[in-house]
Structure 1
Amino acid sequence: MTDFTNASLLVTGASGHLGRAAVEELLARGASKVIAGTRDPAKLADLAEKGVEIRKVDFNDPAGLPAAFAGVDRLLIVSTDGIGTRIAQQTAAVEAAKTAGVKHIVYTSAPAARPNADAGLNPEHFWTEVAIAASGLDFTILRNHMYAENNLMSLPQAVASGQLYGLIGDRGTSYVTRADTARTAAGALLSAQGKAIKDVTGPAPVTNIERARIASDLTGRPVAVVTLSPADLKAGMIAAGLPEGFAEALTAFERDAVSGHHGVVTDVVERYSGRRPEALADFLASNKAALGA
């Protein structure tokens, strides 16, 4: 496996959870030319003290991106939080990378990225993938599966109410921790070659029934799964106060769990990070207090 430890490596969104963790992993693995990109360089003063070069990288300023990427060999584009604007933001970043002479792009995408109108947030990832492929640059697209951390938002409510809502026919989700995805992204930046799309998953798919059992075992409180149709699940989320667009996106994720898109399991985490991915049950046990136990 080729080692790009001494190449110039830039991580965008480095003030976010995944980006910062990826930078820390690059340093831990001996990378010598690490660049952290962020809209607010002041937030990364501690990384500068560790020898990281800090650059202002603003995806809303496409004219400034070629200069921000100047001299960079390999680029990790952490998908932005600009839902609704990500295609324009990330396409501009890809174009700037090509202009700047970047040789390899690593991008954090989503499972089963596709342009279908009912695919939730997936079209934004799909069209970014298309832009990367069309650039002619080498790339590694990392389709990060559902973050294990998302359970810390949904399961406390299920524990409190005793009910976990999900779609009829759920076939499981291969939850992966954000730490595992960050280590994987850093590993890809350090070693990946060619052009490839990889699914980044946890060690096994976990169904809603299994999630409810884990939550119940950890808290000592009964949690029952309530299965609904997509329309009823979306309506329930809206009634609970979620914006309609967000409720539709979450319902789309659930539909993909029913179709099997989220049940894929690969060895990509272990291959690029050097360690097995953490199981959801172990992650939740480590965060037991957040469940309301």
Structure 2
Amino acid sequence: MKSLISLYLLSFILHSSGSADWCYQTQVSCDGHCKGPERWSEVNADCGKARQSPINIVTKKTKLDERLTPFKFTGYQNAFESTVRNNGHSVQVNIPIAAAVSGGNLGDAYKAVQFHLHWGTDGGPGSEHTVDGEQYPMELHIVHIKQRYNRIQDASNDPSGIAVLGFFYEESNTPNEKYNQFIYALRSVQNTNGNVTLRKISLNQFILPEENMTNYYRYEGSLTTPGCTEVVVWTFFENPIPLDKEQLRAFSSLKFHDGKPMVGTFRPVQSRNGRTVYRSSGPAVLASAVLLFVSITTTCGLSHLN
């Protein structure tokens, strides 16, 4: 009898510990035990703090910050080999080369360590951040840590230890050929822990041309999955990356660790709680400065001739 009780208690403990697992809303069910986004603070208390991500970016409430100048990308053009992996809640690619970003009032240089994505269902709304309430089909996060750190865990103890470059996606009429290898690789990673090698890829092929990355937003927030650590300097680029409908839908063929379709992999937007979202000056201000310089130079030249 005691053995049966012990087995029952052991089963109960194991079952209860599993109930602490976090999941997305699309995984929540009556007979399930994972905790959806509304209960993430039960998984990790940081998920209930006041500086959480993602947020809705209200453009008319953003504040112009002329220190948000264009970024300097180092190593983004270099080809590398890595593995795309289904980690049970997204697809992730680790970055094994020395690639870094600086400028843009980041204060420090940050090295790229991995990138992953968040998406909806069959190409429908699925971005984590929204702009004026608009939810894009998908969102890319390129995760960086300060150069002085070797691990994300170390950077997580620094209030600005992590810098994430975020990109939205939009549906286009034609395929984005730069994504062909990556999209094809998704067929091999449909199940959790599935992985396949990507060869001769570069970070540049996943992002926008540099001239399209001068307009962006900046705010201080958190990781968007538990433990929701509030150590992230967020940069979100205004211009979206184009993918066609079939490319966007390819991500919905993946499966969560519980075997359910991997769809709706986004945390709902969180309260801004008084935080300021800054916007870059972009090319318009730069053009104005050039025109002003030309005007002053011309005036001085005419004055000299007189």
TM-score (norm 2): 0.25
Q: Which has the larger radius of gyration?
A: 2
| Structure that is richer in helix per residue | 1
More strand per residue: 1 or 2? 2
TM (normalized to structure 1)?
0.26
